């Protein structure tokens, strides 16, 4: 029989190889994408299309209004992350420039679209530091739609083509702004029903971010989860909290969560073993809040078991058991569960006359939760004399992705001012379009023209243009946040949360 011998391993060589692999992995995880490839393909041709003699392009960002007409303002969020991650310091290297030139030759099938000498000049003269100035309203500010939120212009005449080259990246601020706005609007709803039915004023944990698994990427989870935490503290989105610490100048961990089960735990012992699992949950964490999903087999049977055989154990806890239904008609299920819980545990009345369960018991609804269903849930509970504080919410894909896009608030990025051969020009997009009957009419996509200021009035914010008589003397709420490759004004996350308070 052949004798097998273990191969001789050069441990030092193996360690060196693993260290090299680790270094490569760490670089891949931290390296930002090649900025030269972070623009729409058609924009690479624009530098040659601008009128000869152009020395300045000034563009702006706005929300042209909510698609459903329900929300009248946006909570500005997320640009500090985008600017610090993608536009800070030198933006590309010679190697990245050479790669981009080769790649874009393949994109266009020709080598005269990507104007490499322009980018080479940028690299040679400024080490690829961006000669642009960006002004914006501070993050956390709530601004009525159809107002300027950000402006960008070049600060070197030769780089007039750069502001709108960066549009593709900058316009992605629509996402955190939309999530932050939606999240804050939910807080308005919850606050209304707390004021109507409850004595409690603690709202920070009423809406929890369950959306990490429901978005398209880790970065979406980070950005959207950050936006949610501007108005709330409850979140299972741990990566969002870590991103906040890196980009928003805080050491605080803002996403707060609790121990909770899932169906893999509840079903492990089969239907006959479910009650043992519920008991084990209570005894594993005898203090503090803990959540238990109870719809694996029969939600009403499980809730009644909690309210009878486990009642004394639940009431003896120094903490809250949060019961989670996860299927069925939301309203009918909640009504049935509350009927059982009030029967078993009793209730007190708030000073406003609404039923409140003992503090050791609450319900969290995490299935089918969106802005409209939240309003409906609290409306039905109030009609049944149930205080809002009895119900906590978890919101997943509908908070961070489903039904959300750039047109939710109709975000647009347009040029409004230019300089050509020393001449200042206000520029505007003002389409005439056809309606459904074929009749010409002015489009809602009309842009603003001239230089812009955002001013604060007794009635809220409004946008002034350089054509307005009081433009020069008006105080601008837009502040310079970025210039020559670096942030010149940042906000802490605490400052952003404070600005966004209801």
| CATH assignment of the domain containing 473 | 3.20.140.10
pLDDT of residue 92: 97
Does residue 21 sit within a domain? no
CB 290 within 8 A of CB 392: no
Annotated binding-site residue numbers for beta-nicotinamide D-ribonucleotide: 236, 324-326, 366-367, 397, 406
For 400-440, how does the pLDDT look when each residue is reduced to its tens digit (9 = 90+)?
A: 999 999 999 999 999 999 999 999 999 999 999 999 999 99
Q: Do residue 262 and residue 395 come from a single domain?
A: yes
Q: Is 203 within the bounds of a domain?
A: yes
Residue 325's domain is classified under what CATH number? 3.20.20.70
Q: Is residue 9 part of a domain?
A: no
| 433 within domain boundaries | yes
Q: What confidence score (pLDDT) does residue 30 get?
A: 55
Residues 119 and 192 in one domain: no
Please report whether residue 276 resides in a domain. yes
- Residues of the chain falling short of pLDDT 70: 1-11, 13-14, 16-30
What separation in angstroms does the CA of 134 have from each of 163, 326, 349, 384? 9, 46, 53, 52
94-133 burial string, b = 16+ CB within 10 Å, else e? eebbeebbeebeeeeeeeebbbbebbeebbeebebbbbbb
Same domain, 332 and 392: yes
Secondary structure (DSSP) of 236-247: S-HHHHHHHHHH
Among the candidates 375, 400, 425, a domain finishes at 400
Q: In this structure, are 362 and 332 located in the same domain?
A: yes
| 166 and 221 inside one domain | no
Give the residue numbers spanning the domain of 95.
36-177+408-499
Task: Note the pLDDT of residue 169.
Answer: 97
The answer to whether residues 146 and 203 belong to one domain is no
Task: Tell me how many helices (H) and strands (E) the chain has.
Answer: 18, 20
| Residues 170 and 150 placed together within one structural domain of the fold | yes
pTM of the model: 0.93
The pLDDT of residue 8: 61
What value, to the nearest 5°, has the Cα angle with vertex 340 and ends 211 and 311? 90
Same domain, 205 and 340: yes
In a domain? residue 134 = yes
Last residue of a domain, one of 373, 400, 427: 400
Q: What is the tally of structural domains in the chain?
A: 2
Do 172 and 190 have their domain in common?
no
267 plus 335 within the same structural domain? yes
> Which residues contribute to the annotated binding site?
213, 236, 263, 324-326, 366-367, 397, 406
Same domain as 97, residue 227: no
Specify if 207 maps to a domain.
Answer: yes
CA distance 345 to 337: 12
Assigned domain for 290 exists: yes
Q: Choose the final residue of a domain: 346, 373, 400.
A: 400
Assess whether 143 and 102 both reside in one domain. Answer: yes
Binding residues for diphosphate: 213, 263, 324
């Amino acid at each position: 029989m052949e004798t097998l011998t273990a191969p001789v391993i050069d441990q030092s060589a193996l360690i060196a190889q693993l260290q090299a692999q680790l270094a490569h992995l760490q670089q891949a995880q931290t390296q930002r994408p090649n900025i030269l490839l972070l623009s729409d393909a058609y924009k690479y041709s624009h530098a040659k299309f601008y009128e000869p003699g152009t020395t300045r392009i000034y563009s702006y960002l706005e929300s042209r209004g909510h698609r459903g007409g329900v929300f009248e303002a946006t909570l500005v969020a997320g640009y500090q992350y985008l600017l610090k991650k993608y536009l800070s310091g030198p933006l590309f290297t010679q190697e990245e420039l050479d790669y981009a030139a080769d790649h874009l030759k393949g994109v266009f099938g020709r080598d005269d679209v990507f104007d490499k000498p322009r980018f080479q000049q940028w690299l040679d003269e400024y080490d690829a530091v961006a000669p642009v100035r960006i002004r914006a309203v501070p993050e956390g500010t709530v601004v009525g739609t159809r107002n300027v939120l950000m402006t960008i212009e070049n600060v070197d005449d030769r780089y007039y083509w750069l502001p709108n080259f960066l549009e593709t990246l900058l316009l992605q601020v629509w996402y955190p702004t939309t999530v932050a706005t939606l999240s804050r609007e939910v807080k308005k709803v919850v606050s209304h029903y707390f004021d109507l039915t409850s004595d409690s004023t603690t709202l920070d944990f009423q809406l929890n971010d369950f959306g990490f698994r429901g978005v398209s990427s880790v970065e979406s989870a980070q950005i959207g989860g950050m936006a949610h935490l501007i108005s709330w503290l409850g979140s299972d989105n741990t990566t969002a909290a870590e991103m906040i610490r890196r980009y928003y100048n805080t050491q605080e961990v803002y996403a707060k969560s609790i121990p909770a089960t899932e169906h893999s735990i509840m079903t492990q012992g089969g239907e006959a073993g479910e009650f043992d699992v519920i008991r084990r949950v209570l005894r594993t964490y005898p203090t503090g809040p803990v959540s238990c999903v109870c719809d694996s087999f029969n939600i009403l049977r499980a809730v009644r078991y909690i309210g009878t055989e486990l009642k004394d154990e639940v009431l003896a806890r120094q903490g809250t058991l949060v019961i989670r239904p996860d299927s069925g008609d939301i309203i009918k299920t909640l009504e049935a569960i509350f009927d059982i819980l009030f029967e078993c545990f009793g209730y007190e009345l708030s000073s406003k006359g609404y039923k409140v369960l003992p503090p050791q018991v609450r319900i969290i609804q995490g299935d089918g939760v969106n802005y409209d269903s939240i309003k409906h849930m609290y409306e039905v509970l109030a009609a049944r004399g149930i205080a809002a504080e009895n119900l906590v919410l978890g919101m997943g894909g509908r908070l961070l992705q489903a039904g959300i896009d750039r047109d939710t608030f109709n975000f647009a990025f347009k040029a409004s001012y230019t300089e050509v051969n020393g001449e200042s020009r206000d520029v505007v997009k003002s389409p005439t379009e056809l309606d459904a009957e074929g009749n010409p009419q002015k489009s809602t996509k009309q842009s603003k023209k001239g230089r812009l200021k955002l001013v604060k009035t007794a009635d809220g914010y409004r946008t002034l243009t350089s054509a307005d008589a009081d433009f020069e003397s008006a105080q601008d709420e837009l502040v310079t946040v970025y210039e020559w490759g670096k942030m010149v004004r940042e906000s802490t996350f605490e400052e952003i949360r404070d600005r966004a308070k209801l």
